[in-house]
Chain A
């Protein structure tokens, strides 16, 4: 399994560098824009006050929400969303393609004719997905650490949460895509469906915040689990959401394992 993992890591390394650069770069860009906007925020608050409360809630700017003149509030509204959307997309693509690419390229026939069990193939690839996502978040974490230290007073719990909460969201999307890739062989199709989930969940997140009628939807969207407002205001992720996250990941991976070990490889 060691060689499978090393080879898999090498094969995905270039895309890891690319996606890490994009995500960390977007975070850095947003953080660098803060000083330029800082002075204008007093007026922005007045400007925003003309909007309905529901609209502001959607962006975490309502009552009890984030304050954009505060550095963490600025990142929570502007940078964090990009980290989650782009990082989530990378997770979905990586999780969805790491196994289906083997079937799409028909290399799975080679791999499974070698003395390595399907469990190990699945487990090894899942670990590589997690390792890649961890590296991405570590890099983003370093960018945030530098920025938070320079521009504001470093609040360690908030920094840690901003750095690693996206990891939870990414692992959820990667696990769901991983499960989909057991059933859908064409990796392009898997990626389309997975990216649909990443965007769809974000839309559901917006809807759940827009009206109380749909508030219950917040329980199914990972964006809510790692909400920036809770991170900045309460310095935590709600335990119920952590529990749901673990369940989603656990169920997805268990189902993937269950179906993959009995699957006919008919490439």
Chain B
């Protein structure tokens, strides 16, 4: 449904874009596109929408070229941008109407359902809305047109947990209806929750594409222990640091082994948490280098 082949974008002024990104997303799949800020996620999204032109390579959505057939592509695409910038002087109702009219007939019943589910107040002006509420407007405007493809660029930022949960339910419903979803995010947790596969982008390069099951297997944990004893280090412990009496590291091995190792210590404090995304990257980078 979505195919990127050697997609490359250099910006003038030498800003980094994306380099040789190739991937394929099947119909009805939710594909997580993950990386830290500045990694090239938004560049990829903007290229897909033809807001910017690729330097080389190509991409197709439903067999249509992103540059030549961009209008036909946009007819079937719903887009939720990371930063929501709409016309502040418009009322929410007028804006959603305006946004949907570009796509032709409006499904008022579905739109009303979305508005109710996301608890959106139509009578307010866009400029008076909080960031989270603007995001809701963006979600309704994108979903109400029954898109075949959803392109989401950090869609959950600013949403409270309850609305986030509603939003994920909506996405799962869209997936059931066969919608293909390109989900760009820097939040590993939400990608794990909703996506079928994930692509990891760093410094403009796609370094890994894996299913969520596979990434779960290789998933690392950040471990932080306060102890006066000497911890026996293993090769599964990477990025080991000693700070303020704590030893911290990213652990990539079996949990059972870790527990056996730390049970020998006299522990003052212990935390085992989800790793920061950067740690995951380091994990992958070290694996790549060791190959």
Residue of B nearest to A101 (CB): B87
- Contacting residues, chain B, for A113 (C-beta < 8 A): 49, 51, 74, 77, 79, 81
Question: Contacts A110-B99, A114-B99, A116-B71 hold; do A11 and B89 have CB atoms under 8 A apart?
Answer: yes
Cα(A23)–Cα(B139), bound, Å: 43
In the bound complex, do residue B102 and residue A266 qualify as a contact, i.e. CB atoms below 8 Å apart?
Answer: no
- Is B98's beta carbon under 8 Å from chain A? yes
CB distance from A182 to the nearest CB of B (A): 15
Number of residues in A with C-beta < 8 Å to the partner?
A: 19
User: Which of A107, A109, A262, A267 lies in contact with B87, CB distance below 8 A?
Assistant: A107
Interface pair B101/A109, CB less than 8 Å apart: no
Residues of A within 8 A of B246 (CB): none
Chain A residues near B86 (CB, 8 Å)? Answer: 107, 110
Q: Which of A11, A117, A264, A267 has the most CB atoms of chain B within a 10 A radius of its CB? A: A264
Q: Does A112 contact B (CB under 8 A)?
A: yes
Whether B46 is near chain A, meaning CB under 8 Å from some CB there, is: yes
Contact A265 B74 (CB under 8 A): no
CB of B53 within 8 A of CB of A7, answer no
Q: How far is the CB of B182 from chain A (nearest CB, A)?
A: 13
Segment 89-130 of A: residues with Cβ below 8 Å from B: 105-107, 109-110, 112-117
B102 x A116 contact (CB < 8 A)? yes
CB proximity to A under 8 Å, residues B43-69: 46, 49-53
Interface status of A51 (Cβ within 8 A of chain B): no
Q: Are A117 and B71 in contact (CB under 8 A)?
A: yes
Give the residue among B72, B89, B99, B102 with the most A Cβ atoms within 10 A: B102
Q: Which of B51, B72, B85 contacts A107 (CB 8 A)?
A: B85
Tell me whether B278 is interfacial, beta carbon within 8 Å.
Answer: no
Tell me if B168 counts as interface (CB < 8 A to partner A): no
Min CB gap A167→B, angstroms:
28
Q: How far is the CA of A113 from the CA of B11 in the complex (A)?
A: 20
B72: nearest chain-A partner, CB-CB = A115
Distance A109 CA – B82 CA, assembled complex (angstroms): 11
Residue numbers in B under 8 Å from A262 (CB-CB): 53
Smallest CB–CB gap between B273 and chain A, Å? 35
The answer to whether B128 has its CB under 8 Å from any CB of chain A is no
A115 touches B87 (CB 8 A): no
Hey, which chain B residues are within 8 Å of A216, CB to CB? none
| B11 engages A266 (CB within 8 Å) | yes
Interface assignment of A3: CB less than 8 Å from any CB of chain B: yes
Cα distance A267–B98 in the bound complex, in angstroms: 22
Asked if A105 contacts B71 (CB within 8 A), the reply is no
**Cα(A11)–Cα(B95), bound, Å:** 12
Interface contact A7-B98, CB-CB below 8 Å: yes
Known: A113-B74, A117-B71, A265-B52. A3 touches B102 (CB 8 A): yes
Given A114-B99, A115-B71, A117-B71, A265 and B46 touching (CB < 8 A)?
yes
Chain B residues lying within 8 Å of A117, measured Cβ to Cβ, are 70-71
Q: Which residues of chain A from 230 to 267 have any CB-CB distance to chain B below 8 Å in the complex? A: 262, 264-267
Structural contact, B83 and A106, CB atoms closer than 8 A: yes
A198 to chain B, nearest CB (A): 26
Partner of A109, one of B53, B70, B81, B103: B81
B75 within 8 A of A: yes
Indicate if the CB atoms of B102 and A115 lie closer than 8 Å: yes
Report A4-34 CB contacts with B as 1/0, cut-off 8 Å: 0001000100000000000000000000000
B53 neighbours in A (Cβ, 8 Å): 262, 264
- Residues from chain A with Cβ under 8 Å of B85 in the complex: 105-107, 109-110, 267
| Complex Cα spacing A53 to B274, Å | 86
Contact A115/B103 with A109-B51, A265-B46, A265-B52 known, Cβ cut-off 8 Å: yes
Interfacial chain B residues near A266, Cβ < 8 Å: 11, 46, 51-52
**Besides the contacts A110-B81, A116-B71, A264-B11, what 13 more A-B pairs have beta carbons closer than 8 Å?**
A3-B98, A3-B101, A7-B87, A7-B98, A107-B85, A112-B49, A112-B50, A112-B51, A114-B74, A115-B102, A264-B53, A265-B51, A266-B52
Question: Could you list 14 A-B pairs, sorted by A, with CB under 8 Å?
Answer: A3-B98, A3-B102, A7-B98, A11-B89, A105-B85, A105-B87, A109-B81, A109-B85, A110-B85, A113-B74, A117-B70, A117-B71, A264-B52, A264-B53
Residues on A lying within 8 angstroms of B by beta carbon are: 3, 7, 11, 105-107, 109-110, 112-117, 262, 264-267
